[in-house]
Amino acid sequence: MNFFRALRSNLPFIAPYCLLLLVLGTYQLLYRQGIISLEINRHHSSWADVFFKYYTHVGDGIFCIGVGFIMMYWSRIKGVLIITAYAISGILAQLIKNFGFPKEPRPAQYFSGMMQHLHTVSGVELSQWNSFPSGHTTSAFAFFALIAIWTKSPFLKFMCLVAASLVGFSRMYLLQHFLVDVFVGSMLGSITALGVALFWKQRMNQTSLS
């Protein structure tokens, strides 16, 4: 599986994802991050509060590592690769957060003077700093992009994108991140997943030839 073959075989994930990046990238050129966050915050509902409050944890390390260990029951290699993709993407995200943008404010800090007027979800503790990039989004895209690479079904590949994107949206809905944090986090996770998959495939090919 070389790079271009991997792109072609995963078009149901990659094509709509690239379109999504184009639309959201354009949107960010037209509007400030704060305006985008306020617009998202304006559209809330009780069912969305409950759903995103819990679904956002799909981007947690506990979820990714847990699924990785469970996957080992069926395929030790795939389980290890899930954990590896999470670890690499997570380390990269944390390095950027803590050394590149250590004082980047999150929405709760950015809107500190008007938080009483914004919608918040009960039980969600709002972080204040280290906003860029979104670690949850990075982990979710690393995980679901890897699953998309492995599955043969075009529909499931597309649904992997939907599942990862919902994690990213949950971070904005819960006032934990700005769109730019989610935008970059998604790319970081996706690139990591593709890199891990290609590296392992190349290693397997070299082993079979030796």
In a domain, 99, yes or no: yes
In a domain, 79, yes or no: yes
Nearest-angstrom CA–CA distance, 201 and 203: 5
Number of domains in the chain: 1
Nearest-angstrom CA–CA distance, 134 and 56: 11
In a domain, 120, yes or no: no
Owning domain of residue 106: 11-16+59-111+131-201
Count of C-beta atoms within a 10 Å radius of residue 166: 18
The CA-based dihedral angle spanning residues 154, 156, 158, 160, taken in that order and rounded to the nearest 10 degrees: -150
In a domain, 36, yes or no: no
Predicted confidence pLDDT, tens digits, the chain (210 residues):
577 787 888 999 999 999 999 999 999 999 999 999 999 999 999 999 999 999 999 999 999 999 999 999 999 999 999 999 999 999 999 999 999 998 899 999 999 999 999 999 999 999 999 999 999 999 999 999 999 999 999 999 999 999 999 999 999 999 999 999 999 999 999 999 999 999 988 877 666 554
In a domain, 25, yes or no: no
Count of C-beta atoms within a 10 Å radius of residue 18: 11
Contact (Cβ atoms closer than 8 angstroms) between residue 110 and residue 175: no
Nearest-angstrom CA–CA distance, 154 and 176: 32
Nearest-angstrom CA–CA distance, 185 and 157: 19
Token pair of 41, please?
A: 């915050």
In a domain, 194, yes or no: yes
- The model carries a pTM of 0.95
In a domain, 51, yes or no: no
In a domain, 90, yes or no: yes
